[in-house]
Amino acid sequence: MSQFTRRGALSFGAAALAAPAFGQPVTTGRAKVPGGTIWWKKVGAGSKPPLLTLHGGPGAGHNYLLSLAALADDRPVIFYDQLGCGQADSPVDEKIYTIQRSVDELDAVRQALDLKEIVLFGHSWGSMLAIEYLCQGRGAGVQKLILGGALASVPQANAGQMRLIAAMPDGAGARMHTLEAAHKEDSAAYGKLTELFYKRHVCRADPPPPEFLASMDIVGKSIAYRVMNGPNEFTIIGVIKDWDRRKDLHRIKLPTLITTGEYDEVTLDCHQTIHQAIKGSTLEIFKDCSHMTMCEQPAKYVASLLRFMA
């Protein structure tokens, strides 16, 4: 998302960092993980297994997921900023930003917070992280799985993004590729075309909520995003570019909810791949939403998760 945020979120305005409280107790802290320390927030103090959330990016920070704090009436909800973004450490050594280190980080967070039994939620890159974690056999104590804006293969997802770009109105996709071929990705014209893609397929809320804007600001500064993903959502040239776990999805044997928006930048075929491979999983498509479903229709999204976790 960095092309978008380098331009100050363009017409989306300034980011706000305030978090909803939802009348629940809130605790925060830091935890040691491979490579540094991360920042975490726990909302609620109920007795049900906590919902542990994995944000996207890599490097978007937890902020855009804060609508899920509404679930704290039912159980604790835990957010954390992964290494390289937000309030976590951001080491400058690019070699530490790997998929495996992120998997090890997730285990370290669970150990630090004594999270023996959890419901695991992953969105976008967070869905990749959850899938990788479970395919490595690290899922002891994970009772249920929720995957939003989800993918099991970066090449599959990127191919879908290219189809969405080709379908942009008034030849916008062709103009975008022309500017890319001329190495003019830093131009104002390319920025406007990127903004158009984001407004169609990343967040369709108008105006976008402040929590989304905060994450857009965070990802634009994130070393993790630049190294692991690339310069923007659809130019995936970083560490994750060849990741593919489609053939291993059958290893996941958990009650699983998969959510996507009608206009999600992670196209429907990616979600169907996961749905078909995880036996007994449920796929829910949110009408008029894109990638940030929890920001676009937060009440409906929270209600869907609440039903699934009941």
Query: What 3-state class would DSSP assign to 81?
Result: strand
pLDDT digits (tens, 9 = 90+) for 108-162: 999 999 999 999 999 999 999 999 999 999 999 999 999 999 999 999 999 999 9
Active site residue 74: no
Mean per-residue pLDDT for 169-179? Answer: 97
Q: Among the options 264, 275, 290, 304, which is catalytic?
A: 264
The sheet with strand 36-43 has its strands ordered as 26-33, 36-43, 77-81, 51-54, 118-123, 142-148, 256-261, 282-286
- Following DSSP, what letter does each residue of 9-29 receive, concatenated? TGGG---------TTS-EEEE
Tokens of 258: 């998969």
CA distance 78 to 29: 11
What average pLDDT score do residues 82-86 get?
98
Catalytic residue (choose from 2, 90, 124, 153): 124
Active site residue 127: no
Question: Does the pLDDT of residue 308 top 60, yes or no?
Answer: yes
**pLDDT, tens digit, for every residue of 97-117?**
999 999 999 999 999 999 999
**In whole angstroms, what is the distance from residue 193 CA to residue 281 CA?**
36
pLDDT: is 242 or 16 the higher one? 242
pTM assigned to the model: 0.93
The end-to-end CA distance of the chain, in Å, is: 34
- Domains (ranges, CATH) in the chain? 2-7+22-309 (3.40.50.1820)
Ordered alpha helix ranges (H), the chain = 2-6, 99-112, 125-135, 154-166, 172-181, 188-201, 210-221, 223-228, 268-277, 293-296, 298-309
CA distance 219 to 5: 8
Tell me if the bond preceding 50 is cis, omega within 30° of 0.
Answer: no
DSSP 56: S
DSSP for 211-228, written as a single string: HHHHHHHHHHH-HHHHHH
In the structure, what pLDDT confidence band is assigned to residue 46 with cuts at 50, 70 and 90? confident
Query: Which residue among 81, 275, 291, 304 is the active-site one?
Result: 291
User: Does the annotation mark 2 as catalytic?
Assistant: no
